[in-house]
Structure 1
Amino acid sequence: MTMSERDDTHHEAPMPTAAAWLGYGGLLPFAGGAAGVWLTAGFAQSAIGAALLCYGGAILSFLGGIHWGWGAQAGADRVGARLVWSVVPSLWAAFAMTLGLLTGPRVGYAALVAGLLLWRVLEVAACPPGPVAPWYPRLRRHLTFGAASCLALAAVASPA
């Protein structure tokens, strides 16, 4: 059963309060960063933009850590595939942050948006299923699109 099938089958699965608070609360720095990029200029905009770029990279890396944890479990199936997949988001995040710092935040934000969306597609389509709680795919979908939207908005407001 793939992650998307689990998402469809357990559409109404109750989400633990801690997962909801921590997950959706993790969108606050994205929203605050995007607002800060829109509402400031000069050094303040650059500083907020760099912080948003770093936070986005950290979150993308975290997504790979989830798969590392699944692969590191005793008796996990397809351990090698899980561990290989798990490093992709960290490598992409490092690339996106470096690109953003060297060429400008707009390019970095765009690379992070692409990484978040691509990882979501790959996670649903190609990654081996893990020990996923029924509510997890729905939360991941919401958080991915929330984070990607905020980064896209910051990219629009950033200097070229």
Structure 2
Amino acid sequence: MPLHKKGDKRLLRAWASYDWANSVYFLVISSAIFPLYYGYICADETYLVVFGMSFKNTALISYVTALAFMFIAIWSPILSGIADYMGNKKRFMQFYCYLGSAACVGLYWFDIDNLHWGLLFYFLALVGAWSSLVFYNSYLPDIAYPEQHNKISARGFALGYIGSVLL
């Protein structure tokens, strides 16, 4: 028997709170602070050599981001099928949340001497964060009635912005 019934206000509040919490990642790592930090770390190098290939310093982070999103675009439909049909979305959501979190911890050691590791952790953080959202979004039909979907989804979205502003 589930701990909370579908439509329970506490359950819906908890679902929306995840959006509040994960929005900090999207502000700090993927959009505002990490790209600036990357630019600062790589400013003295015009070209960077990673895995034997030379890249312009300003383009490398864009290539890694694009590669991560191409991977996510291919992987997300598979994850969506897992979320809908395998019945263990909580474990998958936890795995990807932990993957993204561990990758963010790995960014602590990011510097010009460990560029390849920093970019790998950045890639894994993107994959972890966006993949966890597949499972997060798949919970909405399980926790809310159809007439509640728009309101609850908007609440989560709004809490995400509030969380970003508070940071």
Same-fold call, TM > 0.5? no
**Which structure features the higher share of strand residues?**
2
Using CA pairs below 8 Å that are at least 6 residues apart, which structure has the higher relative contact order? 2
TM-score computed with the length of structure 1 as normaliser: 0.34
